[in-house]
C-alpha cells in the first residue's frame, strides 16, 4: 500500500500536528498557498514532495512552482491545482484519476464522472469555523481511496 499525504493552504504555518500526521507518507502533495519556502523544505524532508503555487504564493521561490501539475504517483495519475475553478478552462487530461485542489479551505472528497476530487482543507491557520485538516490517498492494486483527517490543532 502506498500512502500519499495531501495538504493545502498552510499560509506560512506548518503545524507540528500536520508534520506528525504526514510522517510515514511515501509522497506528499501540497496544493498551494504555501507562503513560506521553509514549509516546502520541512515537507520534502519527510517524503518526495509535489507542490503547486497558490494565489498567495509570491516571490522568486514561488514563481519556480508550477500552477498545475499532472503526474503519476504509485500508478495513479494525479492533477494538482490550487483553485478548482482553474479546471473550467482547462479540464484534466484524459486518464487523470485524482484531482487535488485547495483554496477554499473546505475539506471535501467527491467522485465525479469516475474522477476522485480531493480538497484536504487547510492545514494552516483556522479560517472561520472550518476544521484544520489534511488528507491522504491510499493506493493499492490500482485502486485509490481518499480519507480526510481533522488535525488536533491548537489555535494559531
29: its cell numbers: 502533495
- Strand 133-140 relative to strand 143-150, pairing: antiparallel
Q: What's the order of all strands across the beta sheet hosting 49-51?
A: 49-51, 27-30, 2-7, 133-140, 143-150
pTM over 0.75? The answer is yes
Residue 153 binned pLDDT confidence (cut-offs 50, 70, 90): low
- Joined together, the cell numbers standing for residue 74 give 504509485
| Structural domain spans, the chain | 2-150
pLDDT confidence of 78, banded at 50, 70, 90? very high
Query: Which residues, listed in sequence order, are joined to residue 66 by a DSSP beta bridge?
Result: none
CATH architecture of 2-150: 4-Layer Sandwich (3.60)
Which letter, b or e, does each residue of 54-74 get, where b requires 16 or more Cβ atoms within 10 Å of its Cβ?
beebeeeebeebeeebeeebb
Quick one: pLDDT at residue 155?
Answer: 57
Residue 118 · residue 102 · CB < 8 Å: no
- State the chain's mean pLDDT as an integer: 94
Q: CB–CB of 28/43 below 8 Å?
A: yes
Inter-CA distances, 25 with 40, 43, 57, 123, 139, Å = 15, 10, 24, 16, 12
Amino acid at each position: 500500500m502506498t500512502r500519499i499525504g495531501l495538504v493545502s493552504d498552510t499560509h506560512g504555518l506548518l503545524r507540528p500536528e500536520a508534520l506528525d500526521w504526514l510522517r510515514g507518507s511515501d509522497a506528499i502533495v501540497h496544493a498551494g498557498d504555501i507562503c513560506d519556502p521553509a514549509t516546502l523544505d520541512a515537507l520534502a524532508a519527510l517524503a518526495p514532495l509535489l507542490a503547486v503555487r497558490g494565489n498567495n504564493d509570491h516571490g522568486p521561490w514561488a514563481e519556480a512552482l508550477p500552477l498545475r501539475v499532472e503526474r503519476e504517483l504509485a500508478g495513479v495519475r494525479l492533477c494538482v491545482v490550487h483553485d478548482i475553478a482553474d479546471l473550467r478552462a482547462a479540464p484534466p487530461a484524459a486518464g487523470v484519476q485524482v484531482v487535488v485542489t485547495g483554496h477554499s479551505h473546505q475539506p471535501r472528497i467527491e467522485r465525479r464522472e469516475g474522477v476522485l476530487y480531493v480538497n484536504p482543507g487547510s492545514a494552516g491557520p483556522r479560517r472561520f469555523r472550518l476544521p484544520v485538516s489534511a488528507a491522504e490517498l491510499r493506493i493499492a492494486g490500482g485502486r485509490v481511496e481518499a480519507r480526510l483527517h481533522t488535525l488536533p490543532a491548537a489555535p494559531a
